[in-house]
Each structure stands twice: as structure tokens, then as C-alpha cells.
Structure 1
Amino acid sequence: MKMLEVKNLCISFGGLHAVDRFDLSIDKGQLYGLIGPNGAGKTTVFNLLTGVYKPDEGIVKLEGKDITGLKTTEINKAGVARTFQNIRLFKEMTVLDNVKAALHRSYRYQTLTGILRLPAYYKQEKAMDEKALELLEVFDLAGESEVLAGNMPYGKQRKLEIVRALATNPKLLLLDEPAAGMNPQETGELMETIRFVRDNFEVTILLIEHDMKLVSGICEELTVLNFGEELTHGKTTEVLNNPEVIKAYLGE
């Protein structure tokens, strides 16, 4: 069974086809890339997959389950998490509390329990602290658990955003330009982080990226979008050497 199957996905804004007849098929455990020039429709696809937009046409299936048009929260509960091109951490909260914010879906207590600070509240808070610290330890961030997220170096903020997404226990992780704004050393570290996540968290990864070194270094297959339509798809090396792909990027 495929982890993600997308068939004939379409959406228009003001008569403009932002995404038109888009198909995508990703195997469980795969590390897949979605690339294309600026304005090709890549982030729009992510917004369709995560419920930010509802498609005009088409079907999205996660492990065979139809999730087309569901609310963002429902799609997240089904097992889809994402990061954003522009980091969306709670920068005035600590590193620990950023991860705990994502854990609240799994650790619940009644509102009155929280207001009155009943024993169940402390039990759940303790469990979330332990789980959050466990995740941070895996990614060498536990020592900065009490640091404000906004005070961390840029590369570590990117890593924290991935950790927070993993805290929702996803089956499919969508990474939107994770290398944006990074220097070469940070990008190299990011590549290792992404590989580690795929191999150790049993998660399938779909990423949008413009850094072709990162794309060629970690993606097993690619789909190329251009003007909202698929230009080509296939093995990474073949796609990146495709004359039509080169033409689309260079604008020739």
C-alpha cells in the first residue's frame, strides 16, 4: 500500500490554475522531493495535502484512506505533519514548551483539571516533559530545553521545527524548503537530520527544496512542477539531468 496517493488534484484562484491535474504516488518509508521554479505551485500542493486549501477536484489518500478536503486538524490526526519555509516556532516560548505544544494532541486532560491543578494535570504535564525531553535528547537539543526558541541559532531553529512536527507522531512528514536561509555547513547537518528522521522514526518524507545539493543528496525520487502541472517525475539523477527540467529552471 502506498503511503500517499494523489490523483487529478486541481485548484484555481481567480480563474488561474494554480495546480492542475496533479498526480503523486509515494511509497511508505520513501524520501521524495517536489521541486520546480518559484511560483510552480509546490507550496499550494502542500496546502492542499494538509487541508489549508480544499481542492476543486481530485483525491488525496493516506495509506488508502481518503483525506480529501478534511480540516487541517483532522489531517494531522490522520498522520500528516509539516514544517514551513518561514519558521513558525513560538519564539517567545522555550524549546521544551514548543515541543510540548505539539504533544497536547496525545496528552489530554479536562479544562477544569488544568484550572484547578488537580493531580491528573501534574501527571500529564510530567509525562509531556519526559516525552519532549526524550525527543530533544535524540536531536542533541535537550541541553537547550529552557532557552527561548527565538534565541537559538537559525540551523537549530530548523531542527526544532522538525522535532516539534515529529512530536505529533506523523506517518508522513512534509518539509517546506527546510534548507532555506542555511549556510553550507547547516545544510549538511540538515541532510543528516532528515536521513536520521526517515530511518529512525519510520516516517515517510516529502520535501520541497531549491537547494539541488540537498535534493540530489537525499531524495530517491522527484516530481517536477512547472506552472501548476507536472513536468516529469522519476529517479532523482534522471530527473535532474532532464533537458526540460534544466530549461524550466534556467528559463531558457
Structure 2
Amino acid sequence: MALLDVTNLSISFGGLRAVDDFNMTIEKGELYGLIGPNGAGKTTVFNLLTGVYKPNEGKIKLDGEDITRKNTIEINHAGIARTFQNIRLFKQMSVIDNVKVGLSERFKYSTLEGILHVGRYKKVEKQIDDEAMRLLKVFDLDGERDTLASNLPYGKQRKLEIVRAMATDPKLLLLDEPAAGMNPNETKELMETIALVRKEFEMTILLIEHDMKLVSGICEKLTVLNFGKVLCQGETKEVLSNPEVIKAYLGE
């Protein structure tokens, strides 16, 4: 059974068909790319997968569960986490506190216990601290645990956003143009971070990206969108050599 199975997904805005009859299947453990020219509908697909938008038609199944009509919180609990093209960290919070935000739904105590610091409060807070540090060590960010997120270099901010997403213990990680704004060295480090996520967590990843060097270097399969429709799907090498895909990118 596929981890993600999307069938006949469609959505319109003001009469414009932004995504039209979209189909995609991702197996557990795959690193899958969703590419296409600007305005092709890629981010709209991400917003549909995460409950930001509700489709006019179609179905989304995650690990066999129908999540089509669930809201963003329910979908996150079901097992989808995402990052954004524009980094959305809590910039005036420390590195470790950003990760603890991601852990907050997994380790809980009551409001009263939190106010009075009684009951499960101390035990749960220690669990959160320990897990946050474990994740930071995996990603070599433990040395910056008390650094404000805003003071991290750009590449490490990207990495921290991935760590925070992983703190929710997802089944599927959506990365929305993670290489945007990066220099070549930062992009290389990003590729290493994505490889680390797959190795340490056996994570299934769906990636939107315009950097074709990155895409060809790490993605096993691709779906190409153009004007909201699937133009091509398949193995990365075959898709990137498809004349229709080349034409869509070159605008010929």
C-alpha cells in the first residue's frame, strides 16, 4: 500500500482551474519531486495535501486513511509535516524552543498542571527537553540550542525548520522549495540534511524545488505540473529528458 495516494484532485479559484485531475502515488521511503514552471500549481497541491485548501473534487489518502476533508491540525496529527518557501521560524525564540514547539502536541499535560507546575508537568517537560536535544544532536545543532533562531545563518535556519517539522514525528515530510535563496555551499549542506533525514528516520519526502541540480541529484521519481495539469510522471532521469518537460521549462 502506498503511503500517499492522491486521485483526481481538483480545485478552482474564481473559475480558474488551479489544479485539474491531479494524481500521484508515493511509496513509503521514497524521495519524490513535484516540479514545474512558476504558477504551475505546485504550492496549491501542497496546500491541498495539508488542509489549507479543500478540493472541489478528488481524494487524498495517507497510509490508507482518507484525509481529504480534514483540517490542518488533523492532517498534521495524521502524519504530514511541511516547511515553507519563506522560512517560518519563531525568530525571537531560541533554537531549542523552536523544536519544543514541534514537540508540544506529542508530549502533553493539563493546563492546570502547567500553571501550577504539578502532576505530570516536570516529567513531561524533561521528556520534551530530552527529545529536543536528541533531535538537535542528530542534526548537529545542539551547540546552538540557546541561540535565537534569527541569529542563525540562513542555511541553518532552513535546517532548523526541518528539525521542527521532524519533531512532530511525521510519516510524510513536505519540503517547499528548501533551496530557495541558498548559495551553492548551503545547497550542498541541504542535500546532506535531506539525506540525513532519510537515513535516520526512514522518512518519505515530497519536494517542490526549482534547482534542477538538486532535484536530479536526490529525487527518485518526479511529477511535472504545467498549468495545473500533470504533464509527465516517472523516474527522474526519464522525466527530465522528456521533450514536453524541456519545452515547458524553456517556454518554447
TM range (shorter): over 0.9
Counterpart in the other structure of 2:35: 35
Aligned length: 252
Counterpart in the other structure of 1:13: 13
Counterpart in the other structure of 2:86: 86
* TM-score, normalised relative to structure 1: 0.99
Counterpart in the other structure of 1:118: 118
* TM-score, normalised relative to structure 2: 0.99
Deviations 1:166-190 (A, max 9, x none): 0000000000000001000110111
Alpha-carbon shift at residue 119 of structure 1 (Å): 4.5
Alpha-carbon shift at residue 46 of structure 1 (Å): 0.2
Alpha-carbon shift at residue 120 of structure 1 (Å): 2.0
Alpha-carbon shift at residue 14 of structure 1 (Å): 0.2
Task: Provide structure 2 residue ranges, at least 5 long, that are not aligned to the other structure.
Answer: none
Partners of 2:87 and 2:99 in 1: CA distance: 14
Counterpart in the other structure of 1:213: 213
- Computed over aligned residues only, the root mean square deviation of the Cα atoms, in angstroms, reads 0.7
Counterpart in the other structure of 1:153: 153
Counterpart in the other structure of 1:105: 105
Counterpart in the other structure of 1:167: 167
Counterpart in the other structure of 1:177: 177
**Quick one: which amino acid aligns to residue 47 of structure 1?**
N
**Quick one: which amino acid aligns to residue 225 of structure 2?**
L
Partners of 1:199 and 1:117 in 2: CA distance: 38
Alpha-carbon shift at residue 200 of structure 1 (Å): 1.7
Alpha-carbon shift at residue 121 of structure 1 (Å): 1.3
**Quick one: which amino acid aligns to residue 189 of structure 1?**
E
Partners of 1:231 and 1:80 in 2: CA distance: 25
Counterpart in the other structure of 1:96: 96
Which has the larger displacement, 195-204 or 96-105?
Answer: 195-204
Asked if the contact 1:82/1:175 (under 8 Å) is kept, the reply is: yes
Alpha-carbon shift at residue 123 of structure 1 (Å): 1.6
**Quick one: which amino acid aligns to residue 21 of structure 2?**
R
Partners of 2:71 and 2:119 in 1: CA distance: 33
Asked if the contact 1:8/1:20 (under 8 Å) is kept, the reply is: yes
SS at match of 1:77: helix
Counterpart in the other structure of 2:138: 138
